[in-house]
Structures are given as structure tokens and as C-alpha cells.
Structure 1
């Protein structure tokens, strides 16, 4: 396809059609089910799906069929099926993925901005869900339109927009099973729920960490006691819990001790990480708002990137049994509960890792303390991209040159997208393009979330060329 035609089609669609409709999507408080227990009653998720469905239906994609799928008790999903162009009927299915559910609004938005108030300012669209990732369905549709406008080819394309990603995609396995006949033979997966370190090049995610999530409670007393009487006689539940965690993590370095949570980092991923550090030095060390004189765990950028993408970590993200300081009395509490969040290397076995953590927390517990673990612990495998097919390598070289003017980069992402692991297992022979318009300063999940409109248009152009390259093999 000729790049000029692709660019003109994409820019026109984004300027005249995408931005107005995406702004309307921002206005819908479509909180993910984990943050809105009454989502089925409030119907905000349904409203978001209907909003995007109506927009796509009005675009006139040749032969497109749209369906809102809603299994009992599960949040809705938008399924769009676009037939292949005549020259690509034997190329399998391209699955384009995004999500329409959102993180909570949280407080602290800047003056003039708000989570449900779309604001256009300096080439940015502000509002919750603009970049994470309400834009994805619009970008995928516009890329398909650009292929047609430029006389290109694309295989059968299926657009799947779920509404539970921010809750860990709990309904997605059921939907994939329900839709497996309609999905057919998936040969290319395009995920638009990612991004990179800058807005100057195309960024690909080559791996995603897995995760474990569980609560652990240590209990020594049947009821709280006066600390002046009981301390020194009965151990502190907090101290026992701290001892148990020492079996799992080296508190001085943060290194995870359990071998089931570790893997050997592949040489190609080390090399790609080194390339990323060379083009964006200082990014990780300057990415987060450190307090006072606080520092990152090391000054070595390569080690920071490998820590973030390929090494296991433990974060304590919640606690119970601890009163707020102004309310704390001289009491030896009966129990302490902590919520443990582990990030696992992309190729680690999450089930084996969870079993190892359970053993470490429940075997030979000091003082015979009772240890209770949450019944419904979450264990999700990560994902490591397959080697690129020659057609994809050439397509990436071309779009990097023609659309961005500089080489693309591939990087591991520290977060999780459960959908990728699921698809990697179901379609081991498929190629994967995990990319997106999110930058390190896009403020996803926090106040002042924004979408870089020029960059989103470039990503859209890139996807159009990749679709055409896939169709031509």
C-alpha cells in the first residue's frame, strides 16, 4: 500500500470522526466490574459497548457483522467480524483486541480536567479510558478502513472488545470458549493495550509478566489483649508474618528466594532490553515520582529493565487488622492480614509458583500460629512472544521507516494482559503484535489520563500496513 493514501485516510478519520466519538466514550463512567459491584444495574459497561458498536456500525466496513455478546452473569463483549478482502481469504483470522472497561476515577485531577470530562488540549485528549484503552476499537476500525482506502488487502478480521480487563479478564476464558468456532484459525493477534517509552517510534511488547495475588492471615490470639500484659508472652502476629515473608523474599535486596518463581532470562530478551536502554537512557530512573532523596533500587538501567520485565517481585498492596495510627491503642492484636502481589517472569509456571508460596507460608510456622490463605488466590501465567515471521519483520522495518522515521523497539512489560497468555496457549502458531499509544507519562490508572492523538494516528497507520503485509504473506 502507498503510505500517502494510508496516512490521509487515517488522519481524516481521526480528526473528523474518531475524536468526537471517543470523547463521548470518555464521558461514560464504565468502571470495570471489580470497581462497580452493581455494573449490571448501572449499565455503564453496556452503554460503552453500545456507544462503540453504533460508531463502528456507521462506518460501512464491507460485510462487517456486529454482535454484543453477554453470557449469563458476565460483563458484555463487542464482537465485530469483517470478511477478508478477495486476495486474502486463505490467510486465517486476524484478532484485534482491546477493552472498554475503565479504572476508578481517583481524585486529584488538575484544574479543568476530570475523569468523565473529555478535554482536548495541545494535541491530547484527556479523560479516563482515553488511552487505556478506549481508543483501541477506533484505531483497529480505522486501520481496516485505511487498508480499503489504499487498495490493500487484509485477512478476515475479528475485533474483540471486552469489558473486564481492568478486573483481570475473569470472563475472557469463557468468551473465548464460547466464540472459538467464530474465531476460527487465528494467524495474527493485534493487541492495542500497550505502548512504550516515547512517542517517536513504534514500540512492541515482547513479553508480559505473570502474577500471583493472595491474602495471608497470621493468627495467634482468640481475642486482642493488652500489650503490656501479653507482649513477650505471645508473639506478635506481624512478627510471625514478617518471618514467613523472609522465606520468600530477601528484604535487603528484594530478590525472590523460591526457585519456582525464577527463570533464566533468554539471551534475545537481554539483547532487546539493552537496545531499549540505549535509545531511551534514564527513562526508568525518571519514570516514577520518588519522594525526597529516595532512589531506584540500582542506577543500572539495564538491570532495572530486566527487574521490571523478567524477574519476580513481591509487593504488599493491602493490609487488615491494623488500626490507623490515631486509633491505635496499646493492644496486641489477634491477627494480621496482608495482601501479597507477586509479578512472575513471562515463562514461569504460575500454578507451581503459587504452590511454592503456599508451602513457604504454611510449613513449620513459628509458635504454631494459624495461617489462613485466601481460597480464591489468583495465579496467571505470563507471555513470551514467538519469533517473528519474515513477513512481520519486513513489515515492521517498513512502517518504522515510512511512518515513524526511526527503528522500532521491542521491550518486556512488567504488567499483565491475561488475554495474551490465553491466546498464546490457544494459538501457538500465531504471530503477535502487542503495541499501542500509551506512553510512560500517559497517566493510566491515575489522575490526568491522556491520549497523544498524533501518536495514536501513527500507530493506526502502522497497524494498517501490518494487516496488509499479513494478507500478502
Structure 2
């Protein structure tokens, strides 16, 4: 198996063999497995309080574990680890085939999903998988149920071609979409078993386009929670009370004005901002030169007042990239206390509640930000209203911190470009992402010398979390082969 010189870079025929294996495995095994996975509403605990009783998370974990064990990888050991009251984690390890290697490659993904959302195309649905023109539609396939299947396929591709690689371990969680509040306990438990992690492969990120391999260079943090303003104990006739009883919605606006400039979207507290490293600005300029106006044109803009499309906060490609990766931003992602329009009578509502999502720059501590946000929103409430903010997550981990990638080692940079050229015909691109993957910060703290290959299939219009989410299968095939090639280059 290890007849080839492990120090030699992969030859074109070896890269082609990896690509052929990945394509065949995706067509014959991964797409069918993901089709079954998409049909299961395995919503993350934040969106399914009865996840244990419903058993959907247990089912997707069991299905994925069974698939992995069925591959019969030499020396594979797999365990589904369960801690009381927490979502399960799949942990697997495969011994090295590279002579003398003492390093470990850690592969990561998750199996929990975001909720349904509305606006799906009439022939599609979150739990109704459909494979059409190379796109696999449905919730969770791209974000990122494919990760465990692609990870094992990359290992298998190397082993089938006799290409040496280091020891590999996998961590597949089921709480990522809830902020990974269950994961730290598992990382503490598994740390002695992980070994000397030299490379982390995370398949939960995105791509600037579908024409090259993309490496994620930073991730934003996030604080989510419910802000509630209560002014009455029950609804009152608006003609009787308005003008005397302040509207809970108006109080809500005043409270949010402490946080955000509503005209510009600028977050006001300076503690939620950070200095942007110079190398990330330069990378944004390079990426803007590749993507151009597609950085902002790729979104599904509504028709504006003049008949043309609505406009973003900026049309400058460089600033667009910086805004969505290094600027703190507020989104309201849900509301409560409002009747449906068809049932909205002339009643002054007793309360207004908003679900907030505060995206934080990569270098801002998420838990500290959650505490500061609570104080900012609750103190000195207008009209002495009852204002409460309850952050999601567990005590001590109520905000997820972002992540800024370490500098690339020479071997890693060379391997990324070689893999991208071999499987896409273009050099690797570098891009920050606006989402959050809490594990990356945990692993970087625990293994500061490790290289981080954070990548994924979430390219333009793939629309994770929203309607019509899809997995770009041709890109997934090439990404799997590219990951295998980079793994082979790990010392």
C-alpha cells in the first residue's frame, strides 16, 4: 500500500484517480444517503425542544454511523458518544498509512439542521429532497450533512490509491445550529484521544464561486436571544388606550436604538467592533478582484420603488466583503406578540418580542458580548417597562466567538493551490465568511500549531437556512477530491 514515496507531490494520474473515486462514490452512495438524510427533520435543539423524544437527531446520527462502518476502512473505530442531556457526537479514528507519521488530521461536520422557513418553490420543501440539474435541494444537505460522507470518501480515496496519509479522526456533532453549546464537554472528553492535531478539515463553510477551491480565512461570532418588552398584562382596545399607554413596539424601537443606528445599520457600542488585520483587508481586495459585483448581486433582491432591484448597503466589492465578515451587524430573525394580519384587530398589544441575531467580528469574545448586550438592552427601560433579554445557549456559553485563521504554513499553501489547480483548473481563493463555527476557535486554542482547512459547498444561491437550499453536487465531488489531496500533503 505504501510503495510510493510519501514525500513526492501527487502526480496528475493520482489526482485524476482521486477525482474519479470521489465522483463515483458521490453518484452511487453519497447522493442517495443525503436524499434520505434531507427527508428527516432533524432540527437542532434550539428549534426542537423535544429532540430526544422525537428521535430525528438520533436517526440521522445512527444512519451516518452505519454508513461509515459499512465502508470497512482498515483499522476504523467508530463510537457514538452520549453525555446525559446533550446531543450525541460521532467520533471515529483511522490509523495512519504514512510511515513514521505521528500527526493527526481532525475532520469536522454536523448533522443537525435549521428549521423549515417559508418561501420554498412549489415543487420543493425542506424535507422533500429533489435532485435536479446537479443540485440536491432540501434542508441540511449542504449545511452540512454531506460532511461526514465526504470526509470518509476522502480517506477511502487515498487508501484505495495507496497514497499515504496521517492518522485521521472525525468529530461529527448535532448541536452546531444551536451554537454548539453541547460541544465543549465532548471536546474536553475527547482531547486525550485526538493526538497531535496537525490539520483540521472543516466542511461547514462556503465558497465564493463554484470555479475553484475556497479557503475560509475568518468567521464571525454570534449572539442570539429573545428581547421582550412588556407594558400591559393583556391587550386593550387601541382607541381607548393609545396615546396614554405607550406602544410596546415603540419601546422596542427605543431599546434597539441603543444598539444600532437604524439609518446606517452601524452597531453603536465600540466593544462590539475590532480592528481588522491588514492581511485580511488585502485578501478582501484580491477576492473582490475575482468576484467583482457578484459579491452583492448574487442575493435575491426584491423589486425596488423605481422598478429596479433593491440595493445593498454598499456596491463596492471590497467593502461588501468586509461588511459581511468583519463588521458587527444586527438581524431580527423572528417575532412574537403579533397576531396574523387577518386577525389583527384594533388592539394595543401587551408585549413585543424579537429574536435577535448579533453577528460579531472574528476577534470579539462572544460570551462577553452576550453579557454586555443584556446589560445594554435591559437597563433603564423607557416607561419602566419590563424589558428582558435571554441569550440562547448554556450559562457561561451564551455567545459564540468568531475565528481568525492562523498563518498558512508553506506546505499548506502549496497543497491548497495544487489541489485547486488539479480539480478545478484555477488557484485557491481566500475568503472570510459571515457565519459562525464555534469549534474552530476551540480547536485553535487547543492545537495552536494546527493548520485549518475550513471550506464547504455553500456557494452562490445555495441559500443555507433559507428556502430552496441546495447542495451543488459537482462542486462537492471536486471538493472531496481536493480535500483528499491536501490530506496527502500533510507532513
What TM-score range do you get, normalising by the shorter chain? over 0.9
Secondary structure of the structure 2 residue equivalent to 1:380? coil
Give 1:435's aligned residue.
Answer: 455
Give 1:304's aligned residue.
Answer: 320
**Superposed, which structure 2 residues align to 1:115-130 within 5 Å?**
115-130=126-141
Q: Which runs of 5+ in 2 are unaligned?
A: 1-9, 305-309
Worse-superposed segment, 257-266 or 19-28:
19-28
TM-score normalised by structure 1 residue count: 0.92
**Superposed, which structure 2 residues align to 1:21-420 within 5 Å?**
21-91=33-103, 93-106=104-117, 109-110=120-121, 112-221=123-232, 223-293=234-304, 294-374=310-390, 378-420=398-440
Shift of 1:148: 1.7
Output one character per residue of 1:364-385: Cα deviation in whole Å (capped at 9) or x when no partner. 4333333222265731111111
Shift of 1:88: 4.6
- Structure 1's consecutive aligned runs of 4 or more residues displaced over 6 angstroms after TM superposition are none
Shift of 1:395: 0.5
Secondary structure of the structure 2 residue equivalent to 1:391? helix
Query: Separation in 1 of the partners of 2:487 and 2:207?
Result: 21
Worse-superposed segment, 128-137 or 215-224:
215-224
Q: Which runs of 5+ in 1 are unaligned?
A: none
Query: Separation in 2 of the partners of 1:107 and 1:325?
Result: 17
Shift of 1:82: 0.4
Secondary structure of the structure 1 residue equivalent to 2:294? coil
Shift of 1:217: 2.7
Secondary structure of the structure 1 residue equivalent to 2:148? helix
Secondary structure of the structure 1 residue equivalent to 2:479? helix
Worse-superposed segment, 148-157 or 452-461:
148-157
Task: Give the CA RMSD over aligned residues.
Answer: 2.3
Output one character per residue of 1:323-373: Cα deviation in whole Å (capped at 9) or x when no partner. 344444444444333232210000012233233323332344333333222
Give 1:452's aligned residue.
Answer: 472
Change (3 A) 1:274 1:84: same
Change (3 A) 1:128 1:331: closer
Shift of 1:227: 4.0
Query: Separation in 2 of the partners of 1:167 and 1:328?
Result: 32
TM-score normalised by structure 2 residue count: 0.89
Secondary structure of the structure 1 residue equivalent to 2:289? helix
Shift of 1:105: 4.0
Shift of 1:391: 1.0
Query: Separation in 1 of the partners of 2:342 and 2:416?
Result: 57
Query: Separation in 2 of the partners of 1:346 and 1:437?
Result: 21
Query: Separation in 1 of the partners of 2:65 and 2:383?
Result: 59
- Whether the 8 Å contact between 1:258 and 1:356 is mirrored in structure 2 is no
- Whether the 8 Å contact between 2:208 and 2:431 is mirrored in structure 1 is no
Worse-superposed segment, 15-24 or 434-443:
15-24
Secondary structure of the structure 2 residue equivalent to 1:379? coil
Query: Separation in 1 of the partners of 2:250 and 2:29?
Result: 59
Shift of 1:433: 0.5
Aligned length: 470
Query: Separation in 2 of the partners of 1:281 and 1:29?
Result: 37
Secondary structure of the structure 2 residue equivalent to 1:442? coil
- Whether the 8 Å contact between 2:370 and 2:391 is mirrored in structure 1 is no
Change (3 A) 1:215 1:106: closer
